[in-house]
């Protein structure tokens, strides 16, 4: 099997397990990973090699909403150090309307000061001018900007602006456009991440994402663009997106690091002429975000194990989430899992530091379904549990209540250290 096939096989095996998104009714429809932002009617996309990356790889993507509606919502990083494109996108989202999203890899345009913000503004203006020339009157305020790559350097603006003209000319509505865009936003990702849900009620939601490091709350992914041909106003989109990200991207934690550039956008064209009930929209957005997180986890930097940490029996869902995050971030737990070592004592040491209601003598831990610690004491055979597989479930029951939550994470491997110690990756 190729790596991608192996990953997907592993993920299929997870279906019966607890999803970090919590219990949710499965949205009625078909989920496909071969389609992305152009699966929904009313959207065109393109991805090109503009020359921002020295390697010559694709580095500039455009997602364009043809309407008739232009409703949009977004969730942005909670990091106080926000990149210029995040500051820009935060502003343009206040209108609840977007016609286009321009995304570049090869540079985060973060910590670049007022000049960097000027670069983002100029990029949005150039996209608006090119779209207007192309026949769709567009203002810069209708253009969101996303950037990803190294923090701290200015973008090569001559290259970016020339690329903007080219990428507008490449726009097309077929699946290839979405696929090109999904590839153009990759940095250390090894595979493009796309998903589309075709709802049985004749509307569609699709999306693309990138992100392999700096995966943590408050947003796990660096960049994610979702598109739907449903008719929905900005408030409905905003509700569905916030609810979904809180239960998906916010519960994916690879390295505890939170990016300066994290952005998740949801654009609605209304082209299906279907206005789904809020509950259907909520479920569909949640399902798409959940799948996107599974793809991000499976391709995280240096991953050799996909780990789900589930904490049940907590005094509240918040307590369960805090405990699950403490375990998921603990370097000693993560290195033990890399070594396939059922060293459950490290799980207890980690959870013991969580600022939550806890009774050490009530804690039960299991690895892949095998009890390793019962009522705070090691279970027979705990040291012999086989953790050699690629999917590891760490289940903790605190025995003090009914709160439950789960976090997706990965192991801490040599490859993670290697990938992140290379010069300014």
Q: Which residues are annotated as a binding site?
A: 187, 210, 221, 301, 420, 425
The residue from 65, 204, 260, 272 that contacts its own copies (CB under 8 A) is 260
Cβ proximity of 247 and 178 under 8 Å: no
Known binding-site residues for substrate equal 187, 210, 221, 301, 420, 425
CB of 43 to its own copies, least distance (A): 31
For the record, the structure tokens of 154 come out as: 């200015």
Residue 410 interacts with its own copies (CB under 8 A): yes or no = no
> Is 389 among the residues that bind its own copies (CB under 8 A)?
no
Nearest to its own copies of 45, 336 (CB atom): 336
Q: Which stretch binds its own copies (CB under 8 A): 25-33, 42-50, 175-183, 337-345?
A: 337-345
Binding mask 85-114 toward its own copies (x if CB under 8 A, else -) reads: -----------------------x-xxxx-
Asked if 257 interacts with its own copies (CB under 8 A), we say yes
Whether residue 209 contacts residue 189, with contact meaning beta carbons closer than 8 Å, is answered with no
Q: CB nearer to its own copies: give 41 or 351.
A: 351
Based on the shown chain and the rule CB under 8 A, indicate whether residue 120 belongs to the binding site for its own copies: no
Residue (259 or 366) nearer to its own copies, CB? 259
HSE at residue 207, side-chain half, CA atoms within 13 A, is: 30
Residue 119 vs 142, nearer CB to its own copies: 119
- For its own copies, the binding residue among 139, 376, 399, 401 (CB under 8 A) is 376
Q: Does 421 bind its own copies (CB under 8 A)?
A: yes
Q: By CB under 8 A, name the one of 360, 381, 386, 402 that touches its own copies.
A: 360
Query: Closer to its own copies at the Cβ: 6 or 341?
Result: 341
Q: How far is the CB of 395 from its own copies (least distance, A)?
A: 17
Contacts of 340 (CB under 8 A, 6+ apart): 386, 387, 388
Cis peptide before 269 (omega within 30 of 0): no
381 scored as a contact of its own copies (CB under 8 A): no
Please say which residue, 30 or 78, places its beta carbon nearer to its own copies: 78
Instruction: Return the biggest CA–CA distance within the chain.
Output: 72
Considering the rule CB under 8 A, would residue 185 count as an interface residue with its own copies?
no
Which CB atom, from 243 or from 334, has the smaller least distance to its own copies?
334
Q: Which of 189, 330, 393, 397 binds its own copies (CB under 8 A)?
A: 330
46 binds its own copies (CB under 8 A): no
Q: Which of 36, 207, 213, 234 binds its own copies (CB under 8 A)?
A: 213
Which of 174, 277, 352, 381 binds its own copies (CB under 8 A)? It is 352
Whichever of 56 and 423 has its CB closer to its own copies, that residue is 423
How many residues bind its own copies (CB under 8 A)? The answer is 66
**Distances, alpha carbon 212 to alpha carbons 188, 189, 258, 328, in Å:** 6, 6, 12, 16
According to the 3-state scheme, what is the secondary structure of the chain?
A: CCHHHHHHHHHHCCCCCCCCCCCCCCCCEEEECCCCCCCCCCEEEEEECCCCCCCCCCCEEEEEECCCCCEEEEEECCCCCCCHHHHHHHHHHHHCECCEEEEECCECCCCCHHHHHHHHHHHHHHHHHHHHHCCCCCCHHHEEEEEECCCCCCCCHHHHHHHHHHHHHHCECCHHHHHHHHHHCCCCCCCCEEEEEEECCCEEEEEEEECCCCCECCECCCEEEEEECCCCCHHHHHHHHHHHHHHCHHHECCCCCCCCCCEEEEEECCCCCCCCCHHHHHHHHHHHHHHHHHHHHHCCCCCCCEEEEEEEEECCHHHHHHHHHHHHHCHHHHHHHHCCCCCHHHHHHHHCCCCCCCCHHHCEEEECCEEEEECCEECCCHHHCCCCCCEEEEEEECCCCCEEEEEEEECCCHHHHHHHHCCCC
Which residue of 82, 210, 247, 251 would you call a contact of its own copies, by CB under 8 A?
82
Closest separation between CB of residue 79 and its own copies, Å?
A: 4
* Cα within 13 Å of Cα(336), Cβ side: 21
When asked if residue 56 is in the footprint of its own copies (CB under 8 A), the reply is no
Site string for its own copies, 139-178 (x = CB under 8 A): -----------xxxx-------------------------
252 is an interface residue for its own copies by CB under 8 A: no
Q: Contact, 170 vs 61, CB < 8 A?
A: no
By annotation, the residues acting in catalysis are 221
Residues that bind its own copies (CB under 8 A): 78-82, 108, 110-113, 116, 150-153, 213-214, 255-260, 329-332, 335-336, 338-339, 341-346, 348-354, 358, 360-361, 363, 373, 375-378, 382-383, 412-414, 416-418, 420-424
């Amino acid at each position: 099997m190729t790596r991608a096939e192996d990953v997907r096989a592993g993920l299929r095996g997870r279906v019966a397990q607890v999803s970090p998104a919590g219990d949710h009714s499965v949205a009625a429809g078909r989920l496909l990973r071969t389609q992305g932002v152009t699966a929904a009617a009313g959207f065109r996309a393109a991805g090109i090699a503009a020359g921002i990356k020295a390697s010559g790889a694709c580095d500039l993507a455009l997602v364009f909403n043809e309407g008739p509606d232009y409703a949009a919502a977004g969730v942005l990083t909670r990091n106080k150090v926000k990149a210029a494109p995040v500051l820009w996108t935060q502003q343009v989202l206040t209108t609840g309307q977007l016609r286009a999203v321009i995304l570049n890899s090869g540079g985060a345009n973060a910590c670049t000061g007022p000049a960097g913000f000027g670069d983002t503004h100029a990029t949005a203006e150039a996209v608006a001018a090119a779209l207007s020339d192309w026949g769709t009157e567009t203002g810069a305020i209708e253009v969101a900007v996303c950037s990803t790559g190294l923090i701290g350097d200015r973008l090569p603006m001559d290259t970016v602006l020339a690329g903007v003209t080219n990428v507008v000319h490449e726009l097309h509505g077929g699946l290839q456009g979405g696929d090109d865009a999904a590839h153009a936003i990759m940095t250390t990702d090894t595979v493009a991440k796309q998903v589309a849900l075709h709802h049985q009620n004749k509307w569609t939601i699709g999306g693309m994402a990138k992100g392999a490091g700096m995966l943590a709350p408050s947003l796990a992914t660096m960049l994610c663009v979702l598109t739907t041909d449903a008719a929905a106003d900005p408030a409905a989109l905003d509700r569905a997106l916030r609810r979904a990200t809180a239960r998906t991207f916010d519960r994916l934690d690879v390295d505890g690091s939170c990016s300066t550039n994290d952005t998740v956008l949801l654009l609605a064209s209304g082209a299906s002429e279907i206005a789904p009930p809020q509950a259907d929209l909520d479920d569909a957005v949640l399902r798409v975000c959940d799948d996107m997180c599974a793809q991000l986890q499976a391709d995280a930097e240096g991953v050799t194990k996909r780990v789900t940490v589930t904490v049940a029996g907590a005094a509240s869902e918040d307590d369960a989430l805090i405990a699950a995050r403490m375990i998921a971030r603990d370097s000693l737990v993560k290195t033990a899992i890399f070594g396939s070592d059922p060293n459950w004592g490290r799980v207890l040491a980690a959870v013991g530091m969580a600022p939550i209601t806890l009774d050490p003598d009530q804690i039960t831990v299991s690895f892949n379904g095998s009890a390793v610690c019962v009522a705070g004491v090691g279970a027979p055979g705990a040291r012999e549990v086989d953790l050699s597989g690629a999917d590891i479930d760490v289940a903790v029951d605190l025995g003090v209540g009914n709160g439950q939550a789960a976090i997706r994470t990965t192991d801490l491997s040599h490859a993670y250290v290697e990938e992140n110690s290379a010069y300014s990756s």
